[in-house]
């Protein structure tokens, strides 16, 4: 598959489904069926088995034609976390059923991983799944679940065997968020919003056909989700001077009355770091053409969190009293995760969560130290202890 062939296929799609007269969902469905959704996926699953790097060719052609996108911020968990996991470990039937509505945006996904007692130590989770014939009965609580209030499906890990060490007794499921026994409650954030939730699972019945991977193999499956999550958060594609640095640079150019020498030096430093991070993200995405993301994504997510917090802090300082203004403290229930939207005060507060979500910075530092730099692991006294015998 060449770039020229992909351009031809894209133009054929546009000719058969004119943007001006084709509905939004219908166009996205036609794009998926033509293999132009994510070109590196297999044929019949939204792709053509082409190199991942050629996706940019398709995207450029469609953008030039004014074609609609699938609102990736609204369905980012599905695109960045669920889809790669289903592709890697799902059955053929699961891939056919789940991937098309996920990519089109007809079905929103959420992530049911963290728990009140198992956040940084995710493998210590206590949500139980007990086999009952062809089903599993799930009981437990999840927390920090972004978009659970709008989601149709949730990627869920639960303990299916408490008799073995914590990493070995976990199984991975797809949970119907509309099923009886699923209760979603909002969690108010420092921004005043409630984009994430706590989820209570009480006797939730999940068919075994919605299990992803083998029984007890959930930790290995979850690693695919987690590695892709960190790339999705920390390696988002942005244009030059895009993302969090954009409003600060714009304010600097448009408001000379705000400038000081000290702030100028700090802005220059952060601008260069943001550009270096952007280029590193581009390189990481090119490397992904050869396979699934590795621990390098943790480094990208680390840098993303630190930069966002430093840049948003500089913006508030630059704007002075204006930077403290906040237009709405009403608890809203947004249907997307927004890292950079609204005014400076929002960005400053929202960035505080960047070093927690998708893996805390402390955990990611350990991953980079051990798996990228090859440093010795910290001692883990519970590695071979059955989960049921762990102190809690």
Given the DSSP bridges, would you call strands 170-176 and 153-159 parallel, antiparallel or unpaired?
Answer: antiparallel
Evaluate whether 351 touches 244 at the Cβ level (below 8 Å): yes
The phi, psi pair for 75, rounded to 5°, reads: -115, 30
pLDDT band for 371, please (50, 70, 90 cuts).
confident
Tell how far CA 167 is from the center of its chain: 22
Return the DSSP state at 65. T
Given the DSSP bridges, would you call strands 170-176 and 128-132 parallel, antiparallel or unpaired?
Answer: unpaired
pLDDT tens per residue, range 188-211: 988 888 888 999 999 999 999 999
pLDDT tens per residue, range 44-95: 999 999 988 899 899 999 999 999 999 988 898 999 899 999 999 999 999 9
Average pLDDT over residues 13-38: 96
Which is catalytic among the residues 193, 229, 296, 315? 229
pLDDT band for 311, please (50, 70, 90 cuts).
very high
pLDDT band for 231, please (50, 70, 90 cuts).
low
Tell how far CA 369 is from the center of its chain: 23
Residue 240's contacts (CB-CB under 8 Å, 6 or more residues apart) are 275, 278
**DSSP assignments along 225-269, one per residue:** HHHHHHHHHHT----TT-TTHHHHHHHHHH-GGG--HHHHHHHHH
- Give pLDDT, residue 11: 97
* CA-based nearest residue to 294, from 358, 227, 237: 227
* CA-based nearest residue to 67, from 15, 109, 138: 15
- Annotated catalytic residue 296: no
Q: How high is the mean pLDDT of the chain? A: 90
- Give pLDDT, residue 278: 86
Average pLDDT over residues 110-116: 95
Q: How many of the other CB atoms lie within 10 Å of CB of 191?
A: 23
Average pLDDT over residues 290-316: 82
Distance CA 301, CA 284 (A): 12
Q: How many of the other CB atoms lie within 10 Å of CB of 294?
A: 15
Distance CA 147, CA 81 (A): 13
Evaluate whether 270 touches 318 at the Cβ level (below 8 Å): no
**pLDDT surpasses 70 at 167:** yes
- Give pLDDT, residue 6: 96
Evaluate whether 8 touches 21 at the Cβ level (below 8 Å): no
- Give pLDDT, residue 32: 98
Average pLDDT over residues 308-314: 94
**Where is mean pLDDT largest: 146-155, 249-258, 326-335, 352-361?**
146-155
> For the purposes of burial, counting CB atoms within 10 Å of the CB of 390, is it exposed (0-12), middle (13-18) or buried (19 or more)?
middle
**Where is mean pLDDT largest: 4-18, 109-123, 353-367?**
4-18
**pLDDT surpasses 70 at 287:** no
Where do we find the tokens 């891939």?
A: 95
Higher pLDDT, 307 or 278: 307
Domains of the chain with bracketed CATH? 3-104 (1.10.540.10), 109-215 (2.40.110.10), 222-372 (1.20.140.10)
Q: How many of the other CB atoms lie within 10 Å of CB of 341?
A: 12
**pLDDT surpasses 80 at 121:** yes
């Amino acid at each position: 598959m060449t770039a020229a062939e992909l351009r031809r296929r894209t133009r054929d799609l546009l000719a058969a489904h004119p943007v001006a007269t084709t509905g939004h969902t219908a166009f996205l469905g036609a794009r998926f069926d033509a293999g132009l959704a994510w070109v590196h996926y297999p044929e019949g699953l939204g792709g053509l088995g082409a190199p991942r790097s050629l996706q940019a060719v398709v995207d450029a052609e469609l953008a030039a034609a004014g074609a609609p996108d699938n609102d990736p911020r609204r369905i980012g968990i599905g695109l960045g976390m669920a889809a790669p996991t289903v592709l890697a470990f799902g059955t053929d039937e699961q891939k056919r059923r789940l991937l098309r509505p996920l990519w089109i945006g007809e079905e929103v996904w959420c992530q049911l991983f963290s728990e009140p007692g198992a956040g940084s130590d995710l493998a210590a989770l206590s949500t139980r799944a007990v086999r009952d014939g062809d089903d599993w009965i799930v009981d437990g609580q999840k927390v920090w679940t972004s978009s659970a209030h709008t989601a149709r499906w949730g990627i869920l890990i639960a303990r299916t065997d408490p008799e073995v060490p914590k990493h070995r007794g976990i199984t991975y499921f797809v949970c119907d968020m509309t099923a009886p026994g699923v209760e979603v409650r909002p969690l108010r954030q420092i921004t005043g919003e409630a984009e994430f939730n706590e989820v209570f699972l009480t006797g939730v019945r999940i068919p075994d056909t919605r299990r992803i991977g083998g029984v007890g193999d959930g930790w290995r499956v979850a690693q695919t989700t987690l590695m892709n999550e960190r790339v999705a958060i920390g390696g988002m594609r942005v244009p030059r001077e895009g993302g969090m640095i954009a409003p600060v640079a714009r304010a600097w150019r448009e408001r000379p009355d705000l400038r000081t020498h000290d702030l100028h030096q700090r802005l220059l430093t952060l601008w260069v770091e943001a550009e270096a991070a952007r280029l590193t993200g581009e390189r990481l995405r090119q490397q992904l053409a050869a396979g699934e993301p590795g621990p390098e994504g943790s480094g990208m997510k680390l840098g993303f969190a630190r930069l966002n917090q430093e840049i948003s802090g500089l913006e508030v300082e630059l704007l002075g009293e204006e930077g403290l203004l906040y237009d709405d403290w009403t608890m809203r229930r947004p249907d997307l995760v927004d890292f950079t939207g609204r005014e400076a005060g929002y960005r400053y507060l929202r960035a505080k969560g960047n070093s927690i979500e998708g893996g805390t910075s402390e955990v990611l530092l350990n991953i980079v130290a051990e798996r990228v730099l090859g440093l010795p692991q910290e001692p883990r006294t519970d590695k071979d202890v059955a989960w049921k015998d762990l102190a809690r």
